Amino acid sequence: MYYGMIKKSDVADGPGVRVSLFVSGCRHHCEGCFNAETWDFKYGDVYTAEIEEEILRAMEPSYISGFTFLGGEPMEPENRPFVFSLAKKLREKFPEKTIWLYSGYTYETDILEWAKTDEIVKSLLPLLDVIVDGEFHIREKNLSLKFRGSENQRLIDVQKSLAEGKTILCDENNLR
């Protein structure tokens, strides 16, 4: 896997101060994408064990409230093994911190369907706190939305959704 950027003090892609990884590779090609250079699966640098260690070290300060996967597209099949591996290490080392994942795919029709046949997706979901799902739609762009760019995108509480067997949206006034 390649990645385009690591932000070690991101305040735009989830609540609090977060570490964020922008993975490379995306098949959505949304009109108006803010990060179109990451559509290329070989954009940026190769993701290595050393980079993973750098991310884990960046997560250590107490003021870091969580981690966010963005892209590109973290849920592309080529990226899933790396996303899962890092999410597992983050959850083990920092159980009190949240893990968010942005995906242009839709939770019910794509991600949950994949989880039925893809062990990586099935194992990844219990590690995530929030999925921001849906492609960016420029015609629905809304700068007043919290942590998303267009009206169709949703903040999904993954743990509650898995427990209740239905999609539960996050309480936007109580995000962590």
* pLDDT (0 to 100) of residue 131: 98
Per CATH, the number for 2-174 is 3.20.20.70
The DSSP result for the chain, as a single string, is -EEEEEEEEESSSSSSEEEEEEE---S---TT-TTGGGGSTT-SEE--HHHHHHHHHHT-STTEEEEEEESS-TTSTTTHHHHHHHHHHHHHH-TTSEEEEEESS-IIIIIHHHHTT-HHHHHHGGG-SEEEES---GGGB-TTSSS-SBTT-EEEEHHHHHHHTS--B--GGG--
* pLDDT (0 to 100) of residue 14: 94
Residue-wise pLDDT for 26-71, tens only, equals: 999 999 888 889 999 999 999 999 999 999 999 999 999 999 999 9
Overall pTM > 0.85: yes
**What does the pLDDT profile of the chain (176 residues) look like in tens digits?**
999 999 999 999 999 999 999 999 999 999 988 888 999 999 999 999 999 999 999 999 999 999 999 999 999 999 999 999 999 999 999 999 999 999 999 999 999 999 999 999 999 999 999 999 999 999 999 999 999 999 999 999 999 999 999 999 998 877 87
The domain locations on the chain are: 2-174
